[in-house]
Amino acid sequence: MHQLLIIGGGPAGISASIYASRKRMDFVLITEEVGGQVIKAGEIENYLGYAMVDGIAFVEKIIQQMERLGVEPVLDRVIEVRKVSDGFVARTLSGKEYSAKTLLFCTGAEHRRLNVPGEKEYTGRGVSYCYTCDAPFFRDVKVAVVGGGNSGFEAAQQLTHYASEIYLIEISGRFVADEVLRENVLSHPKVKPLLRHRVLEIRGDKNGVREVLVEDLQSRSTYTLEVQGVFVEVGLKPNSELAKSLGVLTTSRDEIIIDCNNRTSERGIYAAGDCTNIFAKQIITAAGEGAKALLSIHHDLTYGVSSWI
């Protein structure tokens, strides 16, 4: 039985694994891919030590650091976790089982859907959740970006290099992206901001997306926008199902509830990063939370835990 099982290989899980290696802990890191959402992050310009770095290049640097420390992730997907008398057992998609005294969930989050007609039908045929992957396919055409946060503005910024026109759709009355990013994007002539608007339907034909039906929430009128691409950037849904199966408490948004030491409601189970109820969902905060969680686990295994949340 290992001391620790880390589930998830995004910034939080990687950071935790690096600290676990330095603490000479007996641990296993299981992840489907190293890097998580960072691979799709595009240009990163707010991480310490990097004025600007591409997400893929950033992950390559991380992998080099892991290799230098001897961290060898198990590339697999955990599909079930159960409690046993002296810890936990995780079963993977490949059929292997891993036992550990403690668990650290770094399972991150996935993109939320709009849940409108046409979204599922045209996913991969005009509807995208990865602007880094798909922006180059929309050269010289009109597109819509749904979401007024950082991810929506980053998508719009990337698309200014390719698309002819970009409708930036936000359901609320204001954009919440960082000020510098907001100013840069909104000042671009290709960007057409649409506040207090929502997408009602995505329409197309056998060749892909052709238009979106939107509602102006102020006038209550509806009209169509002729676009060939729709980039959905409306936030993230925490991957907390495995933790919930063990009785771990979550918020109404399915975020794993943790205390300041990354402990969950269940003894021996910890969580870090975007799957938790931390306020800021950023690469740097996830990495910091992963390190903090590991130090908390190491302390608890070494000195014991007098109380739990």
Do residues 221 and 193 make contact, with C-beta atoms less than 8 angstroms apart? no
Report how far residue 161's alpha carbon sits from residue 213's, in angstroms, rounded to the nearest whole number.
25
Q: Which residues are the active-site residues?
A: 130, 133-134
Q: What are phi and psi of 226, to 5 degrees?
A: -80, 110
Q: How far, in Å, are 112, 203, 210, 300 from residue 119 at the CA level?
A: 12, 9, 12, 46
Model confidence at 175, pLDDT cuts 50, 70, 90, reads very high
Determine the Cα–Cα distance for residues 158 and 42; give it in Å rounded to an integer.
8
Q: At how many degrees (to 10) do helices 11-22 and 55-69 cross?
A: 20
Task: Give the pLDDT confidence score for residue 40 in this predicted structure.
Answer: 72
pTM assigned to the model: 0.81
Structure tokens belonging to residue 167: 């409708």
| CB-facing half-sphere around the CA of 87: CA atoms within 13 A | 16
* Mean pLDDT of all residues in 208-236: 97
> Quick check: helix, strand or coil at residue 126?
coil
User: How far is Cα 299 from Cα 211, in angstroms, rounded to an integer?
Assistant: 56
Q: Which of 179-188, 220-229, 241-250, 280-289 has the lowest mean pLDDT?
A: 280-289
Structure tokens at 291: 């390190």
**Closest Cα to residue 14, out of 32, 29, 25?**
29
**Inter-CA distances, 221 with 72, 132, 168, 197, 214, Å:** 56, 33, 18, 10, 9
- Is 80 exceeded by the pLDDT of residue 285? yes
Residue with tokens 């799957």, as numbered in its chain = 275
185 class by beta-carbon count within 10 Å (0-12 exposed, 13-18 middle, 19+ buried): buried
Under the banding of pLDDT at 50, 70 and 90, the label for residue 282 is confident
Query: What radius of gyration, in Å, describes the C-alpha atoms of the chain?
Result: 21
Res 67 pLDDT > 80 = yes
Confidence of residue 290 (pLDDT cuts 50, 70, 90): very high
CA dihedral angle for residue 58, residue 64, residue 69, residue 70, rounded to 10 degrees: 120
Quick: pLDDT tens for 1-52: 999 999 999 999 999 999 999 999 999 999 999 998 888 766 787 789 988 8
